[in-house]
């Protein structure tokens, strides 16, 4: 595929392609504690309605990003958790970086003042991309959860907007 990279809002009709990319990431064992992609309704209910983006080349979805609320408490209404997934076929083409850049812009346009990510330390590329785009390491969660019977650690990264939530 040599076409132009296009970004647009993620729709329910995209779920088949999105969930395939999601599952591909989950299969690596370094993307999430989840083992399988949920159905559309469960995913839809767990993510903010705004800030859902797909990246397309030649009308094929090659990556996606979205935000999840971190809490139902209203005080945390401007805080969200980041998800970014790219098809392995397009790894190394900066699509993850561009998706995260778009997600940051959209989050700020929608009043999100803090983005956070919990990333497995083994997912070095994701950590690098987040730090490149202004995320800072705020914690290390040792043995935060088990995966296939093995305790896993995560690095907690955070990005505070300098455009929204300042007052």
pLDDT tens, residue order, the chain (167 aa): 578 999 999 999 999 999 999 999 999 888 898 888 999 999 999 999 999 999 999 999 999 999 999 988 888 889 999 999 999 999 999 999 999 999 999 999 999 999 999 999 999 999 999 999 999 999 999 999 999 999 999 999 999 999 887 66
Q: What sign does the dihedral 44-41-76-145 (CA atoms) show?
A: negative
> How much is the pLDDT for 75?
81
Collapsing DSSP to helix, strand or coil, 166 comes out as coil
Cα–Cα separations (whole angstroms), residue 138 to 13, 102, 157: 37, 23, 6
Query: 77-107: b or e for each residue (b if 16 or more CB lie within 10 Å)?
Result: ebbbbbbbbbbeebeebebbbbbbbbbbebb
- Of 51, 81, 46, which Cα lies nearest the Cα of 157? 81
Task: Report the CATH fold assignment for 5-160.
Answer: Aminopeptidase (3.40.630)
> How much is the pLDDT for 167?
65
pTM above 0.75, yes or no: yes
Rounded CA separation 99/153 (Å): 25
Rounded CA separation 120/148 (Å): 15
């Amino acid at each position: 595929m040599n076409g132009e990279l296009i970004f647009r809002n993620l729709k329910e009709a995209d779920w088949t392609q999105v969930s395939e990319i999601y599952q591909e990431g989950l299969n690596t064992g370094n993307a999430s504690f989840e083992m399988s992609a949920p159905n559309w309704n469960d995913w839809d209910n767990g993510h903010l309605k705004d800030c859902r983006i797909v990246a397309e080349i030649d009308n094929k979805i090659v990556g996606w990003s979205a935000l999840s609320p971190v809490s139902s408490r209203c005080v945390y209404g401007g805080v969200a958790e980041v998800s970014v997934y790219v098809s392995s076929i397009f790894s190394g083409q900066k699509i993850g970086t561009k998706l995260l850049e778009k997600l940051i812009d959209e989050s700020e346009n929608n009043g999100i003042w803090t983005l956070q990510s919990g990333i497995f330390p083994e997912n070095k590329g994701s950590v690098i991309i987040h730090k490149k785009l202004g995320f800072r390491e705020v914690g290390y969660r040792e043995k935060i959860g088990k995966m296939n019977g093995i305790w896993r650690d995560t690095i907690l990264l955070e990005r505070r907007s300098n455009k929204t939530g300042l007052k």
